[in-house]
Amino acid sequence: MVEENLSLPESFSVSEIQGQVTALGPWFHNLNLGGVQTAPDHFLGDYPSLKWKSFGHAIPADLTGLTVLDIGCNGGFYSIEMKRRGAARVLGIDHDEDYLAQARYATKVLGMDIDFQKLSVYEVGQLRERFDLVLYMGVFYHLRHPLLALDLLRQHVAKDWFVFQSMMRGSRTKPQIEDDYPFWETKMFDHPGYPKMHFIEKNYSGDCTNWWVPNRACAEAVLRSAGFRIIDAPEHEVLICRCDPDAELHPIPAGLT
């Protein structure tokens, strides 16, 4: 969590920070920049600090010497937390220039050395780099092609740890699923806990970028299918994974790598 009392460089006064925070708004990440809250009226409360409190303990507390990739970094909250844990290199990527401007300003005020680049999740192969820990927070359900994105991440940038968070809807139960079924067997598809992704044709919560929302069993299944081994589920929406060296990785169509 961002600390409450931060010593600011002399060049940043509270009024200057407040003015710049307003100019860069609206913010989705509520950060504490020297006493200035960037999104004090967030509809989810003190977000994402509240979310971080629920799963932060499941990520190594000491990241000294490790590299971190924060995908869909937004205003930079998780990038900042990774740097606080001692990560040697943190790179945040996002497709939205407004979010990147917010993240760059926040880390400038906090005096942190974090890189930010405009890059789509589908373009991660351009990085030509693998990271010890990859954060994939709140991106999956905004994608038209979520499985392609997971395959690209596993095969191009993930080296070990992979932290996945997605909005989930539907049943939280996880029935026993067989590896195969006869063609005429169909009743398992009607089980509420069978792996399912809900497709949103128009909008959900006023957001036209909400496309695919998995249930819990589906979230776990797609991660395993992409080559990740789930080691912890500290809260309902967050799954802590490691790269599975024995997984069979699926070929990515030519031209999409």
CA-CA distance, 249 to 226, in Å (whole number)?
6
Q: For residue 254, what pLDDT is reported?
A: 84
Q: For residue 1, what pLDDT is reported?
A: 38
Q: How far is CA 36 from CA 13, 25, 75, 112, 173, in A?
A: 10, 13, 14, 17, 41
Q: Which SS3 state, helix, strand or coil, does residue 14 take?
A: helix
Kindly list the domain boundaries of the chain, sorted by start residue: 28-243
pLDDT tens, position by position, for the chain (257 residues)?
Answer: 334 444 454 578 999 999 999 999 999 999 999 999 999 999 999 999 999 999 999 999 999 999 999 999 999 999 999 999 999 999 999 999 999 999 999 999 999 999 999 999 999 999 999 999 999 999 999 999 999 999 999 999 999 999 999 999 999 998 899 999 999 999 999 999 999 999 999 999 999 999 999 999 999 999 999 999 999 999 999 999 999 999 999 999 887 76
* In contact, 167 and 245? CB cutoff 8 Å: no
CA-CA distance, 63 to 135, in Å (whole number)?
13
Q: Which SS3 state, helix, strand or coil, does residue 116 take?
A: strand
- Specify the residue for token string 């990271």: 131
Q: For residue 5, what pLDDT is reported?
A: 45
Q: For residue 249, what pLDDT is reported?
A: 96
* In contact, 151 and 157? CB cutoff 8 Å: no
CATH architecture of 28-243: 3-Layer(aba) Sandwich (3.40)
Q: For residue 3, what pLDDT is reported?
A: 43
Q: Which SS3 state, helix, strand or coil, does residue 89 take?
A: strand
Q: For residue 170, what pLDDT is reported?
A: 94
